[in-house]
Amino acid sequence: MKNLIILVALLSFISACADNTANKQTTSNNTQITSNNSTQATSNKSSNPENPSAQNAQQQAKTCLEAQYQPDNAKYVDCLHPEIIKASGGKEKALADLNKMFNMVGKISYTSLDVSTPKEVKTAGKGMITVVPYQMTRKAATGEDETSKDFLIGVSEDEGKTWKFATSAMYSPLEKSFPGVKDLETPEIKF
């Protein structure tokens, strides 16, 4: 049952963002990324430049989100925290479920992806935790830009060098090992 809830939450998130229409490039001061004959833009908003752990979380979250939206499901699953993968039924099941979902909803095409630097990194349980906010803009079927805002929960068990993530919809499995997760200040979500 828990696996089904996590899968439904992830499917809800992905289908809220899914759009198979062609995109136009609309950004100016962003890094260009070309993949699967479409152009996307990404940027990193730095609000905490002096904290290397926060910068690492931001960069690694950006890589994870790019993998999710391209989709490169194997790379995306590798970004997820092991407790999230376990709660999803294991790596192979998580991969199979993601492949099935993307076959149903298609690639998520976006025109920009802005990943912010976490405001704070906290020690919790057996590691460090943080919130990595991001904003994605895509072209809706109407041709208008639609912007969604969400966040990832980042977890590091090596003093902020490497980070694994959980989406805003599925981070409750982390609460046992990282008790401060539920107390993190999270930004508003907008789909």
> What's the mean pLDDT in 177-191?
90
- Of 90, 114, 97, the C-alpha closest to 29 is 114
**Is position 49 within any domain?**
yes
- Given the DSSP bridges, would you call strands 112-116 and 164-167 parallel, antiparallel or unpaired? unpaired
Query: What pLDDT shows up at residue 96?
Result: 94
CATH number at residue 51: 3.10.450
Q: What is the pLDDT of residues 75-84, one digit of tens each?
A: 999 999 999 9
Residue 177 has pLDDT above 60, yes or no: yes
Q: Which structural domain, as residue segments, surrounds residue 158?
A: 2-183
Query: What pLDDT shows up at residue 29?
Result: 29
**Is position 22 within any domain?**
yes
> What's the mean pLDDT in 26-42?
30
Query: What pLDDT shows up at residue 105?
Result: 78
How many CB atoms sit inside 10 A of residue 62's CB? 21
- Of 55, 74, 43, 88, the C-alpha closest to 154 is 55
Q: Where are the alpha helices (DSSP H) in 47-128?
A: 52-69, 73-79, 82-87, 91-105
**Is position 86 within any domain?**
yes
Query: What pLDDT shows up at residue 69?
Result: 83
Residue 14 has pLDDT above 70, yes or no: no
**Is position 189 within any domain?**
no
**Is position 99 within any domain?**
yes
Instruction: Record the pTM.
Output: 0.75
Cα separation, 6 vs 141, in Å, equals 28
Domain count within the chain: 1
Ordered DSSP codes for 131-162: EEEEEEEEE-TTS-EEEEEEEEEEEESSTTSS
Q: What is the pLDDT of residues 103-149, one digit of tens each?
A: 887 777 789 999 999 999 999 988 999 999 999 998 887 888 999 99
